[in-house]
Amino acid sequence: MKCKIKIVLADDELLFMQGLKSLLVSQTDIDVIFDAEDGDDLINKLRTATVLPDIVITDLKMPGLNGVEVTKIIKKEFPEIKVIALTSYFSKPFILNMISIGAVAYLAKNSTPALMIKTIVEVAEKGFYYDDRVMAYIQESLTNPKDKNTKSSFDKRFFTKREIEVLYLICKQFTTIEIGEKLFISPRTVEGHRNNLLLKTEVKNVAGLVIFALKNKIISLDGDFN
């Protein structure tokens, strides 16, 4: 039997949070284990919880501890919990800042219910979810306009050919099973390559692998790996 995705919500806008909660509890594969009225409430509840969530969906603008501060604390004290940032301000600086501190997805509050559910499922299955606009923002932020044609000094021989292939497919947001099917290897072998990539790059999660690959020009959003 497939385990439910355990979710915690944090938002000081009660009406919005109750609406979101109603949407999520109607899903058979999602379990909202508790909610929090602000950042302080969220952190206090996480520290005393007997069951921790897989994903925290937190508003960025809250009284007391805001979403940025909450995300930093979660990544330090609860590194296995994935954070989805939720905000009314879908702007490039906000997005890049949240990604830099560990958010694995970014949702505008006016997103459709379908996109909300899709994002949660993608994060649960793949560890992160960045749509095309967010991925474009990331790539733009890592590209020096004055030096677009300069190759990265990173030596890709540090990775095996198979690790490069797995990294490319991770960046294209395929699941472990899908990567295995494309490369004709088992999911366990894919996980082994992914773990090797995490060790070699010294990043903490698959979202970090995406940033690493783009920063070092190992893959391009416009084509295959370089």
Residue 174 forms part of a structural domain: yes
pLDDT greater than 80 at residue 220: no
Instruction: Name which of 136, 79, 70, 77 is nearest 98 in CA terms.
Output: 70
Judge if 131 and 150 occupy the same domain.
no
The whole-number pLDDT of residue 218 equals: 78
Judge if 113 and 209 occupy the same domain.
no
Residue 225 forms part of a structural domain: no
Residue ending a domain, choose from 109, 139, 169: 139
Residue ending a domain, choose from 104, 120, 139: 139
Q: What is the DSSP letter of 222?
A: T
Average pLDDT, the chain: 87
Of 65-74, 97-106, 150-159, 184-193, the poorest mean pLDDT is in 150-159
- At residue 132 the predicted structure's pLDDT band, cuts being 50, 70 and 90, is confident
Judge if 96 and 201 occupy the same domain.
no
The whole-number pLDDT of residue 222 equals: 61
Highest mean pLDDT of the ranges 94-98, 156-160, 189-193: 189-193
- Who has greater pLDDT, 8 or 90? 8
Residue ending a domain, choose from 114, 139, 164: 139
The whole-number pLDDT of residue 193 equals: 93
pLDDT greater than 50 at residue 145: no
Residues 193-211, mean pLDDT to the nearest whole number: 87
- At residue 101 the predicted structure's pLDDT band, cuts being 50, 70 and 90, is confident
Judge if 128 and 154 occupy the same domain.
no
Judge if 34 and 64 occupy the same domain.
yes
Judge if 65 and 118 occupy the same domain.
yes
pLDDT greater than 90 at residue 77: yes
Residue 222 forms part of a structural domain: no
Tally of structural domains, the chain: 2
Judge if 107 and 169 occupy the same domain.
no
Residue 200 forms part of a structural domain: yes
Residues 174-180, mean pLDDT to the nearest whole number: 92
Beta bridge partners of 85: 58, 106
Token pair in block for residue 146: 């004055």
Question: Residue 173 belongs to what domain range?
Answer: 146-215
- At residue 224 the predicted structure's pLDDT band, cuts being 50, 70 and 90, is low
Q: Which ranges in 13-147 belong to alpha helices (H)?
A: 14-25, 39-48, 67-77, 92-100, 113-126, 132-142
The whole-number pLDDT of residue 169 equals: 92
Judge if 120 and 18 occupy the same domain.
yes
Instruction: Name which of 30, 22, 35 is nearest 5 in CA terms.
Output: 30
Judge if 26 and 110 occupy the same domain.
yes
Residue 223 forms part of a structural domain: no
Residues 124-147, mean pLDDT to the nearest whole number: 77
